[in-house]
Amino acid sequence: MEWRASHILVKDRAQAQELLKRIKQGADFASLARENSTCPSKSSGGDLGWFGPGKMVASFEAACKSLGVGSVSDVVQTQFGYHIVKVTGKRD
């Protein structure tokens, strides 16, 4: 299985929760990624492209496995900070 996902990465849990709230209220994920994410992927709206098992840290990968295409995760903590993950594709 491979996934395609976008994410927003921030250093502060409160900021991540506020961004998640805005997404659930209909804010554009890619726009928020460009404006707020600390990851270089922000220039592409948070798009990380396709990746397979073992390519991302465990908690990030687990979030991708649990989400359907088009779904957005709760806040996911990793050693890099706090992520909001949106799965944009899955393929075998």
pLDDT digits (tens, 9 = 90+) for 11-70: 999 999 999 999 999 999 999 999 999 999 999 999 999 999 999 999 999 999 999 999
> 25 in helix, strand or coil?
coil
Could you tell me how far CA 13 lies from the centroid of its own chain? Answer: 14
Give me the sign of the Cα torsion angle 7, 37, 24, 27.
negative
| pLDDT value of position 40 | 98
Terminal CA-CA length for the chain: 4
Q: Are 13 and 64 in contact (CB under 8 A)?
A: no
What value does the mean pLDDT take over residues 65-88?
A: 98
Domain layout of the chain by residue ranges = 2-91
Instruction: For the domain covering 2-91, report its CATH number.
Output: 3.10.50.40
Q: State which H helix or E strand residue 50 sits in.
A: strand 47-51
